[in-house]
Amino acid sequence: MSSFTQRIGAQSWRFDSLRTVMAKASPARSGDYLAGVAAGNDAERVAAQMTLADIPLKHFLSEALIPYEQDEVTRLIIDGHDRAAFAPVSHLTVGGLRDWLLSEQADEAALAALAPGLTPEMVAAVSKIMRVQDLILVAQKIRVVSRFRNTIGLRGRMSTRLQPNHPTDDPAGVAASILDGLLYGNGDAVIGINPATDSTGGICELLKMLDAIIQRYEIPTQSCVLTHVTTSIEAIQRGAPVDLVFQSIAGTQAANESFGISLALLQEGYEAGLSQKRGTLGDNLMYFETGQGSALSANAHHGVDQQTCETRAYAVARQFKPLLVNTVVGFIGPEYLYNGKQIIRAGLEDHFCAKLLGVPMGCDICYTNHAEADQDDMDMLLTLLGTAGINFIMGIPGSDDVMLNYQTTSFHDALYARQVLGLRPAPEFEDWLARMNILHQQGGQLRLGDPVPDVFRKALAQLA
């Protein structure tokens, strides 16, 4: 391991490894204090950031933060590194990469070509020395487009996951939320349910219900029940209509093992999904969720700071060409991201790092009820991420998930972001909304249709 020394005036600091520099250079957050890896004060943090800025990018290829022999995610990162793609920036330091990313030379095409040449650790490192405006400026240059039954991630567009969760998976309650969301133009990323129970039979019934709605109204979108990958594989074997295969992932082998998964199991799920051939425009069919603090919460972080662990999860996601990836940024709780400021910074970091690695990134802009955060904080993060070019956000009735018991973004929040920032749904979904008189163009902006389309009025009457 390398050691690094930084002197500022009469004081000097010594960092005994790259892992230590990375951790102490991170903006302050409760999870790193909980893990005992954070800088002791602002002066040490600045010293670590100055040290990190001077480290050559090539150094990240010779010093693994988690040993190659111990961790399959490290092996995936090192073995999959594209040295030819890395060549244009291989002479740079971390600070030099920041300057280049902010330059006009780093345009959309250049950043797309660079993505396979960057490791998660390089990307995490440069994010630690960037301001909020830097994270936004670079991320908005990058478009990562994915396709299944529609096209997600195009410039000027922002999709939503319609999340119709119900505490008992009651079909009428789920259907009511779906219709409500559709009437506000939500659901082009996915109509995705977190099931209250994880029985395969129950999962299959929810999948059949979602498929029936999509088929009945000819909606150009995809469905997902967010169950364990093994349950999705079993549902496929039973003949259930599985569109997207879901799994929560993390950035270390040990953390993934705590989720009951491995890279080989994810590959099995990916191949099972491909065998369905249900996509009409493309075959991006994996849906992954991540979140800062997941490795630490499983005691599987190996002394690595939580933001770097999070970024390593994007290497796992990238391997399987996903349709959707999102950071559930404030969901794990204040032990890891204490307040609104930490949640906002983390959401922007996650989006920047994922996009730079070529991952189609969304965000569940959320917080738990015991965090020092409120809906104003979420409005700020929503607005910043919309400006930064986020692929998708969540749409939940009233912004309050009655099954998972946390606060997130509502159907109305998506309308706000689209109207204020001039963003539109996925093109195929936008055309469907216009045909159904749900949303239409007026004065260059999307407006809600009026009255409620007859086909939905009848459906709502049946539910009542």
Query: What's the confidence (pLDDT) of residue 450?
Result: 64
Mean pLDDT by 10 residues, the chain (464 residues): 85 95 97 97 96 98 96 98 98 98 98 98 98 98 98 98 95 92 95 94 96 95 98 98 98 98 98 98 98 96 98 98 97 95 98 98 96 96 98 95 92 94 96 87 64 68 60
- Give me the residues paired with residue 7 across strands: 12
Query: What's the confidence (pLDDT) of residue 229?
Result: 98
- Give me the residues paired with residue 424 across strands: 157
Query: What's the confidence (pLDDT) of residue 84?
Result: 98
| Terminal alpha carbon distance of the chain | 66
**Residue 442 phi, psi dihedral angles, 5° rounding:** -150, 115
Tokens of 188: 């082009």
Q: What share of the chain is helix, strand, coil (3-state, %, to 5)?
A: 50, 15, 40
| Cα torsion 63, 67, 73, 78: sign | positive
Report the C-alpha gap between 320 and 267 in whole angstroms. Answer: 7
Side-chain half-sphere exposure of 264, counting CA atoms within 13 A: 2
Query: What's the confidence (pLDDT) of residue 439?
Result: 78
Query: What's the confidence (pLDDT) of residue 1?
Result: 72
Query: What's the confidence (pLDDT) of residue 451?
Result: 65
- Give me the residues paired with residue 362 across strands: 326
CA-nearest of 4, 88, 13 to 52 is 4
Side-chain half-sphere exposure of 251, counting CA atoms within 13 A: 33
Total number of residues shown for the chain: 464
Query: What's the confidence (pLDDT) of residue 409?
Result: 97
Measured at the alpha carbon of residue 203, what is the angle toward residues 366 and 436, in degrees to the nearest 5? 70
